[in-house]
């Protein structure tokens, strides 16, 4: 139940983030025993590069505390969607926090919102939707992979989020979202290989008073096909974007102090052919150190194109 609301102490069954460093975190379940591959019940010992943790020892411990490992220490943190995205078991490719922050902002997900999502995948994005729309909203999430849908359903339940989500096992490109969802959604989100096939179903699911749409696609051709269908159906404010993180390089650089007289000199040089020589010899006199900021020339990190659109109110849905 550790995703539902802030807690002070770890209870048995909680998902806990074992934080070793910013690049090394693990999601563990606070249970004293586990069943091994041979079907035997054994003491739950979690191994890390800094030694082992007897998981029973963290039950009752305050969240945020430092806990001893056999060869070092770690901190035990209450999970949130950001930490979960970094530690969750990958069943599929997932969407990460920078793209998700833009998705939540552009879809205006807020308490009370009804969001329709497909595919559920590993549930990375779903956890953010749930945090933003609870306690009065609802997430309807669809995946055509039965095991993934079942695992996600069980995971939301275990995380204490089961009351705010319905997980469907369904092919949304061929069958659409269920008819009970016609006209109920404030926002529809697609992370599918062929989003264009699901856009007409998203159109149906959005409220008659209008709503927001987003599709995440790694390739621009997928976005282009999606945009064609959005345009045909009367969506507006269509916009595709990429969320790229740009690093700032902070460096002390040595630079000459600009001498305005020196800068003027080359102009005069055109009139006097021999004066070129003279200007070359005029070196700037003063050199100073400056703290500078610049950006790398390459921007790595393409994840996908986010295509957003608005369904305006009262578009007839014949």
The one-character DSSP state at 232 is: H
Residue 124, marked binder: yes
The answer to whether residue 93 forms part of the interface with ligand SAM (CB under 6 A) is: yes
Q: By C-beta, is 10 or 172 nearer to ligand SAM?
A: 172
Interface region with ligand SAM, contact rule CB under 6 A, candidates 103-111, 136-144, 206-214, 290-298: 136-144
Interface region with ligand SAM, contact rule CB under 6 A, candidates 91-99, 104-112, 217-225, 277-285: 91-99
- Of 142, 150, 139, 198, the residue nearest 174 (C-alpha): 198
CB 64 within 8 A of CB 9: no
C-alpha–C-alpha distance, residues 156 and 60, integer Å: 23
What Å distances lie between residue 234 and 49, 107, 313, CA to CA? 55, 18, 10
C-alpha–C-alpha distance, residues 192 and 118, integer Å: 7
The answer to whether residue 172 forms part of the interface with ligand SAM (CB under 6 A) is: yes
C-alpha–C-alpha distance, residues 150 and 263, integer Å: 71
Name the minimum Å distance from CB 22 to ligand SAM.
Answer: 21
Name the minimum Å distance from CB 90 to ligand SAM.
Answer: 8
Cα end-to-end span (Å), the chain: 43
The answer to whether residue 144 forms part of the interface with ligand SAM (CB under 6 A) is: yes
Q: By C-beta, is 63 or 142 nearer to ligand SAM?
A: 142
The answer to whether residue 231 forms part of the interface with ligand SAM (CB under 6 A) is: no
Taking CB under 6 A as the criterion, the residue among 74, 81, 115, 119 binding ligand SAM is: 119
The answer to whether residue 143 forms part of the interface with ligand SAM (CB under 6 A) is: yes
Interface region with ligand SAM, contact rule CB under 6 A, candidates 15-23, 55-63, 140-148, 264-272: 140-148
Name the minimum Å distance from CB 188 to ligand SAM.
Answer: 13
Taking CB under 6 A as the criterion, the residue among 122, 215, 222, 307 binding ligand SAM is: 122
CB 258 within 8 A of CB 284: yes
SS3 (DSSP) at 72: strand
C-alpha–C-alpha distance, residues 47 and 40, integer Å: 19
Q: CB neighbours (10 Å) of residue 20?
A: 16
> Alpha helices of 112-216 — where are they, by DSSP H?
124-133, 146-158, 172-175, 195-205
Name the minimum Å distance from CB 45 to ligand SAM.
Answer: 29
The answer to whether residue 125 forms part of the interface with ligand SAM (CB under 6 A) is: yes
Q: By C-beta, is 167 or 172 nearer to ligand SAM?
A: 172
Name the minimum Å distance from CB 126 to ligand SAM.
Answer: 7
- Of 204, 213, 296, 316, the residue nearest 250 (C-alpha): 296
Q: By C-beta, is 142 or 156 nearer to ligand SAM?
A: 142
The one-character DSSP state at 257 is: P
Taking CB under 6 A as the criterion, the residue among 19, 142, 235, 305 binding ligand SAM is: 142
The answer to whether residue 169 forms part of the interface with ligand SAM (CB under 6 A) is: no
Measured CA angle at 142 (ends 137, 144), to 5 deg: 170
Residues 192-211 that bind ligand SAM (CB under 6 A): 192-193
Name the minimum Å distance from CB 251 to ligand SAM.
Answer: 36
C-alpha–C-alpha distance, residues 242 and 221, integer Å: 14
Would you state the structure tokens that stand for residue 314, as one six-digit string? 């009262």
Question: Annotated binding site, which residues?
Answer: 122-125, 143, 191
């Amino acid at each position: 139940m550790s995703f539902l609301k802030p807690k002070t102490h770890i209870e048995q069954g909680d998902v806990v983030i074992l934080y070793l460093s910013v690049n090394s975190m693990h999601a563990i379940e606070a249970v004293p025993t586990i069943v091994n591959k041979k079907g035997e019940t054994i003491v739950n010992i979690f191994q890390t590069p800094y030694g082992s943790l007897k998981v029973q020892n963290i039950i009752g411990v305050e969240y945020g505390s430092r806990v001893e490992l056999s060869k070092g220490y770690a901190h035990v943190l209450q999970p949130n969607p950001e930490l979960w995205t970094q530690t969750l078991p990958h069943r599929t490719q997932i969407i990460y926090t920078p793209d998700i922050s833009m998705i939540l902002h552009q879809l205006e997900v807020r308490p009370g919102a009804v969001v329709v999502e497909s595919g559920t995948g590993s549930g990375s994005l779903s956890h953010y939707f749930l945090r933003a729309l609870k306690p009065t909203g609802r997430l309807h999430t669809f995946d055509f992979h039965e095991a993934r849908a079942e695992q996600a359903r069980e995971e939301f339940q275990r995380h204490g989020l089961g009351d705010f989500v319905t997980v469907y096992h369904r092919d949304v490109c061929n069958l659409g979202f269920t008819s009970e969802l016609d006209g109920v959604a404030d926002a529809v989100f697609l992370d599918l290989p062929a989003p264009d096939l699901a856009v007409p179903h998203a159109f149906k699911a959005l409220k008659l008073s209008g709503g927001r749409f987003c599709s995440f696609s790694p390739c621009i051709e997928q976005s282009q096909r999606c945009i064609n269908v959005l345009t045909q159906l009367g969506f507006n404010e269509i916009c595709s974007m990429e969320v790229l993180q740009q690093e700032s390089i902070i460096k002390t650089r040595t630079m000459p102090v600009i001498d305005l007289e020196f800068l003027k000199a080359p102009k005069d040089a055109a009139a006097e052919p021999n004066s070129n020589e003279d200007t070359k010899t005029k070196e700037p006199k003063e050199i100073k150190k400056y703290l500078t900021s610049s950006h790398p020339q390459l921007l790595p990190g393409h994840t996908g194109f986010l295509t957003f659109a608005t369904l305006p109110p009262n578009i007839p849905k014949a």
